[in-house]
Amino acid sequence: MNYRLFGPTGLRVSELALGTMTFGEEWGWGAPKEESRRIFDAYAAAGGNFLDTANRYTEGTSERWVGEFVAAERERFVVATKYSLFTRKGDPNAAGNHRKSLVQSLEASLERMQLDYVDLYWVHAWDYLTPVDEVMRALDDVVRAGKALYVGISDTPAWIVARANMLAELRGWTPFAGIQVEYSLIQRTVERELLPMARALDLAVTAWGAIGGGVLTGKYNPDADAALREQPGRLRSNPNAARRAERNLRIAEAVREVARETGRSAAQVALNWVRHQPGKVVPILGARTLRQVEDTLGAVGWELDGDQRKRLDEASRIEAGFPHEFLQQPNIRDQVYAGTWERILDRRP
């Protein structure tokens, strides 16, 4: 495993992160403790050092086991957890982005993990209620208190992240060093705003859902038409859902074709594509069995060739939408650049 700098910081994280939402069986589909330990050990043996958990994952079991698993080599691992999701159902102040939610969530996470600090603390999801300055000042306080070393933000619009970091820089507070987003060959809408923002601000990107919820492993059906016929009636009666399913299965088949060419698994191909996108992108592995994590760890140490990347790009391409497509029109470029666009050599991303 190689390592990447986490955004604009000097922190080194492995090129694949281990997601631990599967650690625990409280939600009905996770791994028991013995299997979770085997998954962790396999990841660590491969050189992985970047662990992703959250206060809500498996009702706290994920954090407890992560803390136990890293205890023998605490300083080796970059432990990241999150706040924002509820800790007590029915209590409006036991969830959200505000200071009270942050403080009580972080204290509870540290207690569960038996840690003095976390390396990275994420805002889990934007609540649209808490002022940006309250969030950034509260995060800066926990960094100054030594309870978190770096901060990041997940599942949040680009304009909010950009505004938050500008505010932090102007006021001398700790800015976000990374974002966490859903990103895969079947979910590329983050390429419109979030990924360009991350590149412009030198933010790390951790990508969840990188194998499309399992669709890109090819496990559902290699025959798109047959798979669609087998869908429940609600899918057949919903043209938009049917089109999405058909598109996703076409992309999955393109992944399978490349997998056959390379002698790799479909999951390895899908993860390799994400890992080599422009910017500092780190896919998050999710596994419920040792076999699954051993397979996905094979996404490193090799690269897709140019033709293979091009075919996957074309199979999964999305529309950039407004204003991007508008600004790329030749007549608009002519107006904006006075007919000199092709002669301007230093173009920013």
Active site residues: 57
For the chain, the maximum distance between any two Cα atoms, rounded to a whole number of angstroms, is 65
Whether residue 81 contacts residue 51, with contact meaning beta carbons closer than 8 Å, is answered with: no
Listing DSSP states for 44-101 in one string gives HHTT--EEE--TTGGGGHHHHHHHHHHGGGGGG-EEEEEE-S-SSTT-GGGSSSSHHH
Q: How far is CA 222 from the centre of its chain?
A: 27
Whether residue 118 contacts residue 149, with contact meaning beta carbons closer than 8 Å, is answered with: yes
**What is the distance between the alpha carbons of residues 1 and 18, in angstroms, rounded to a whole number?**
13
260 three-class SS:
helix
Whether residue 269 contacts residue 12, with contact meaning beta carbons closer than 8 Å, is answered with: no
The tokens of 265 are what?
């698994």
In degrees and rounded to multiples of 5, residue 18 shows phi and psi of -105, 115
The tokens of 303 are what?
């690269």
160 three-class SS:
helix
- The amino acid occupying position 275 is R
The tokens of 35 are what?
């299997």
**What is the distance between the alpha carbons of residues 93 and 326, in angstroms, rounded to a whole number?**
43
Angle, CA of 325, 331 and 332, to the nearest 5°? 55
Q: How far is CA 136 from the centre of its chain?
A: 21
Whether residue 165 contacts residue 173, with contact meaning beta carbons closer than 8 Å, is answered with: no
**What is the distance between the alpha carbons of residues 89 and 66, in angstroms, rounded to a whole number?**
24
The tokens of 45 are what?
């043996």
